[in-house]
């Protein structure tokens, strides 16, 4: 745990130094209305956004301003970097995607940010993916992400509301040194595959602080190649909870390490703190800490599922699995909507090892006692632990 805190401390210092260097004072402000944006929510303002971005990108400490009081309709956009250091994208108005899926130019990503360093996306505005017409199509075909950062480095996202994405709201691949601060992400609990924050593809050094997420899927999903992820004061619900995985799909190798959830409230989610892997994978998930988490009517509050199978056909039994070890649950309390509140369904051949349970208090919503279930799960406990532990020593 000491090593994880050192990493987080160094990252915080790094961002402080960056803020001192750029001073927070923009050398020049580029208002999208100057570049022809209408802001009536009807006319397509994509070209104005592109032109304003191109003008601001290479100006040191520039601010690209989306002013408040208006709604700007934009189609698929790629915001290409690298740009000059200290670039701020200030979104105080509303940015809307096209409501009609047939009018989208691209069915993969709505707003894509590539190769940006020392960049900030912030503001009091709302970025609206207009996803309801996509969800009504069902679970088939291509459905676009709302926002993706690819190759980001020293990026801060702060204060925004991101809502109603057709699928994932905010995703990261091959990114490092990322701060997500006081961001609100919201979609109906019935929406499909609308993860809040998705971290994947060799991404590292994340701080997710004081965010509120309610969607139809994982509030935060930590995927293959992720490391050094710190989450604090997260509010989650509705949704599928906080997930590490899924890992190892298609007999692939996976690696996740140093994940620390330090303070969260989960309400009426379909899972709580979940680690999920497919049979047949390899690699490892280790150094994972969940602590100071409150559950309110949560299904499967604590769960490791090494038999995850999100497939229309049954998954075959396989002997290999992603190795799960060194996982700590400390200070987890509240109510479960399922009889089994603590479930460790681990591979019969690989198993889960070095699991620690301490200060656990999970009861049924009705007030009655909950249960634990273990399959090939080894570890230790520090009382109190309720429901009683089934870990083998």
| Cβ atoms of residues 194 and 131 within 8 Å | yes
Residue range 262-285: average pLDDT? 98
Active-site residue identified among 217, 218, 260, 305: 217
pLDDT number for residue 168: 97
In a domain, 26, yes or no: yes
* pLDDT, tens only, 346-388: 999 999 999 999 999 999 999 999 999 999 999 999 999 999 9
Residue 390 has which token pair? Answer: 């089934």
Tell me: pLDDT of 15 over 80.
no
Q: Which residues contact 52 (CB under 8 A, 6 or more apart)?
A: 30, 31, 32, 34, 35, 37, 64
| Cβ atoms of residues 356 and 382 within 8 Å | yes
Same domain, 37 and 113: yes
Query: Beta strands 197-200 and 212-214: pairing type?
Result: unpaired
Same domain, 79 and 189: yes
- Report how far residue 332's alpha carbon sits from residue 236's, in angstroms, rounded to the nearest whole number: 15
Distance set, CA 35 to CA 39, 42, 136, 201, 251 (Å): 12, 17, 35, 35, 50
Enumerate the β-bridge partners of residue 72: 95
Band (3; pLDDT cuts 50, 70, 90): very low
3-state secondary structure of 99: coil
Same domain, 121 and 20: yes
In a domain, 206, yes or no: no
Band (49; pLDDT cuts 50, 70, 90): very high
Band (2; pLDDT cuts 50, 70, 90): very low
In a domain, 18, yes or no: yes
Of residues 26 and 295, more confidence is placed in 295
Residue range 25-48: average pLDDT? 92
* pLDDT, tens only, 158-188: 999 999 999 999 999 999 999 999 999 999 9
In a domain, 231, yes or no: no
Enumerate the β-bridge partners of residue 218: none
Same domain, 250 and 360: yes
In a domain, 380, yes or no: yes
pLDDT number for residue 142: 86
Share of the chain above pLDDT 90, in %: 90
Tell me: pLDDT of 16 over 50.
no
Q: Please report, for the domain that includes residue 28, its CATH number.
A: 2.160.20.10
Which residue do the tokens 């944006």 mark? 37
3-state secondary structure of 360: strand
Same domain, 83 and 183: yes
Q: What is the mean pLDDT of the chain?
A: 93
Least confident of 9-18, 101-110, 233-242, 277-286: 9-18
Same domain, 192 and 285: no
At residue 257's C-alpha, the angle toward residues 206 and 249, to 5°, is 105
| Cβ atoms of residues 180 and 211 within 8 Å | yes
Q: The pTM is what?
A: 0.93
Same domain, 188 and 280: no
Tell me: pLDDT of 19 over 50.
no
Number of domains in the chain: 2
Same domain, 13 and 161: yes
- Report how far residue 386's alpha carbon sits from residue 174's, in angstroms, rounded to the nearest whole number: 40
* pLDDT, tens only, 214-273: 999 999 999 999 999 999 999 999 999 999 999 999 999 999 999 999 999 999 999 999
Does residue 142 have an active-site annotation? no
Residue range 15-31: average pLDDT? 58
- The backbone torsions φ and ψ at residue 2, rounded to the nearest 5 degrees and listed phi first, read -60, -40
Tell me: pLDDT of 21 over 60.
no
Comparing C-alpha atoms, which of 201, 199, 202, 205 is closest to residue 221?
199
Residue range 295-318: average pLDDT? 95
Same domain, 184 and 287: no
Same domain, 268 and 185: no
In a domain, 201, yes or no: no
At residue 62's C-alpha, the angle toward residues 56 and 67, to 5°, is 85
Does residue 169 have an active-site annotation? no
3-state secondary structure of 312: coil
Same domain, 256 and 376: yes
Comparing C-alpha atoms, which of 186, 184, 161 is closest to residue 94?
161
* pLDDT, tens only, 73-130: 999 999 999 999 999 999 999 999 999 999 999 999 999 999 999 999 999 999 999 9
Residue 363 has which token pair? Answer: 């009861």
Sign of the Cα torsion 336, 338, 344, 346 reads negative
- Our CA dihedral for 258, 262, 267, 268, rounded to 10 degrees, sits at 20
Q: Which residues contact 84 (CB under 8 A, 6 or more apart)?
A: 57, 58, 59, 60, 61, 62
Band (137; pLDDT cuts 50, 70, 90): confident
Range of the domain at 190: 1-165+179-196
Same domain, 248 and 391: yes
Beta strands in 164-281 (DSSP E): 170-173, 176-181, 184-186, 197-200, 204-209, 212-214, 220-222, 227-236, 242-247, 253-267, 273-277
In a domain, 218, yes or no: no
Residue range 324-337: average pLDDT? 98
pLDDT number for residue 140: 60
Active-site residue identified among 218, 240, 260, 305: 240
In a domain, 204, yes or no: no
pLDDT number for residue 86: 97
Tell me: pLDDT of 194 over 70.
yes
Return the exposure string of 273-297: e unless at least 16 CB atoms fall within 10 Å of the residue's CB, then b: bbbbbbbbbbbbbbbbbbbbbbbbb
């Amino acid at each position: 745990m000491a090593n994880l805190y050192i990493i987080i401390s160094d990252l915080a210092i790094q961002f402080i130094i960056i803020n001192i260097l750029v001073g927070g004072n923009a050398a020049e402000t580029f208002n999208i209305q100057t570049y022809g944006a209408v802001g009536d929510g009807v006319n397509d303002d994509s070209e104005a956004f592109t032109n304003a971005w191109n003008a601001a990108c290479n100006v040191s400490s520039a601010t690209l301003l989306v002013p408040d009081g208006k709604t700007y309709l934009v189609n698929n956009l790629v915001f290409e970097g690298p740009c000059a250091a200290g670039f701020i994208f200030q979104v105080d108005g509303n940015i809307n995607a096209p409501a009609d899926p047939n009018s989208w130019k691209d069915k993969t990503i709505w707003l894509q940010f590539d190769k940006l360093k020392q960049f900030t996306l912030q503001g009091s505005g709302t970025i609206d993916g207009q996803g309801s017409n996509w969800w009504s199509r069902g679970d088939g075909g291509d459905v676009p992400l709302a926002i993706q950062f690819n190759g980001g480095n020293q990026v801060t996202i702060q204060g925004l509301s991101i809502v109603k994405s057709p699928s994932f709201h905010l995703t990261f691949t091959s990114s490092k040194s990322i701060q997500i601060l006081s961001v609100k992400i919201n979609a109906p609990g019935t929406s499909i595959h609308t993860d809040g924050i998705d971290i994947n593809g060799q991404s590292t050094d994340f701080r997710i602080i004081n965010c509120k997420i309610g969607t139809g899927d994982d509030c935060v999903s930590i995927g293959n190649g992720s490391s050094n992820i710190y989450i604090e004061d997260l509010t989650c619900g509705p949704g599928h909870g906080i997930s590490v995985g899924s890992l190892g799909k298609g007999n692939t190798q996976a690696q996740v390490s140093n994940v620390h959830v330090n303070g969260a409230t989960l309400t009426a989610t379909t899972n709580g703190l979940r680690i999920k892997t497919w049979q047949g994978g390899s690699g490892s998930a280790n150094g994972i800490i969940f602590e100071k988490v409150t559950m309110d009517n949560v299904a499967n509050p604590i769960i490791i599922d090494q038999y995850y199978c999100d497939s229309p056909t049954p998954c075959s039994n396989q002997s290999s699995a992603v190795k799960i070890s060194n996982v700590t649950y400390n200070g987890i309390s509240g109510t479960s909507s399922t009889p089994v509140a603590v479930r460790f369904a681990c591979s019969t051949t690989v198993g889960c090892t070095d699991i620690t349970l301490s200060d656990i208090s999970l009861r049924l919503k009705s007030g009655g006692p909950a249960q634990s279930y273990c399959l090939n799960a080894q570890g230790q406990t520090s009382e109190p632990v309720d429901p009683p532990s089934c870990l083998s020593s």
